[in-house]
Amino acid sequence: MVAETAELLDTGGSEQRPRHIAIIMDGNGRWATERGWPRLVGHRRGAERVKQIVRACPGLGVNWLTVYAFSTENWKRSTEEVIGLMKIFRRYIQMEADGLAGEGVRLRFIGGRERLDPKLQTLMSSIEARTAGNSRLNLTVAINYGGRDELTRASARLAQKIARGEISEPSEADFEACLDTAGHPDPDLIIRTSGETRTSNFLPWQAAYSEYEFTPTLWPDFSPEHLATILDRFGLRERRFGGV
């Protein structure tokens, strides 16, 4: 896969590459429904697609990848689907732990963990500790994540620091240090699959200057070739950050 991805770089695109991309992985359920299959089949195919994109990123010059796996709003789905998704998350961590560690991937999670099953929380903490020394690719999985929830929790942390006298005049940097993504660079590019053009409560603070790409491709069909094409388009954009 790495060799194939390296070939994708020789397409004549700009040398400008995003250091950090974030993906709203949308369309798993629709993909399965269109084929007359249960929605969970689509989620399982989507998990397989995550593995392919993770392995492709280093060859495409991407150092940070954040994926939106389960939002705070996704608890509204059927009990069967939620339970199935949690099983997929556990299986992914268990089956991919050795591979991620061996390939130099550092895995971290953002989002509120208190609502997750204790066994899943233990698995999450275990693989975070196991891969903490890796740096080839920084993979962040947003699970039980919502941007407004993150900002609320960060505000509470900052207020506690102020009350303890640790901070007198809070700055943006102080607030960022209280976010789930403290220490992470902001995403340069955010991709949403499936044709929807909403940001859906994903990284509202971090995405203040991100570029967006909305693609009609459903997530289970989103290949490394799709990603390479989007990255080439990103290379043609002018990012002035308010300047001229």
61 marked ligand binding residue: no
176 marked ligand binding residue: no
27 marked ligand binding residue: yes
Could you confirm whether 98 is annotated as catalytic? no
199 marked ligand binding residue: yes
Tokens at 227, concatenated: 């990603």
99 marked ligand binding residue: no
Q: Which member of 63, 74, 134, 201 is catalytic?
A: 74
31 marked ligand binding residue: yes
Beta bridge partner(s), residue 108: 140
Could you confirm whether 180 is annotated as catalytic? no
Residues recorded for the chain: 244
Tokens at 104, concatenated: 């130099």
211 marked ligand binding residue: yes
Q: Which member of 26, 180, 188, 232 is catalytic?
A: 26
Q: How far is residue 158's CA from residue 164's CA, in Å, rounded to a whole number? A: 10
Convert 118-129 to b/e letters by CB count within 10 Å (16 or more is b): eebeebbeebee
User: Looking at this protein, which amino acid is placed at residue 151?
Assistant: L
Helices (H), 103-240: 118-130, 147-163, 172-176, 224-234
Q: How far is residue 128's CA from residue 149's CA, in Å, rounded to a whole number? A: 22
43 marked ligand binding residue: yes
30 marked ligand binding residue: yes
Beta bridge partner(s), residue 71: 145
77 marked ligand binding residue: yes
| DSSP one-letter code for 179 | S
Residue linked to tokens 């089956």: 95
Question: Which residues make up each annotated binding site for Mg(2+)?
Answer: 26, 211
Question: Which residues make up each annotated binding site?
Answer: 26-31, 39, 43, 71-73, 75, 77, 192, 198-200, 211
Catalytic (active-site) positions: 26, 74
Question: Which residues make up each annotated binding site for substrate?
Answer: 27-31, 39, 43, 71-73, 75, 77, 192, 198-200
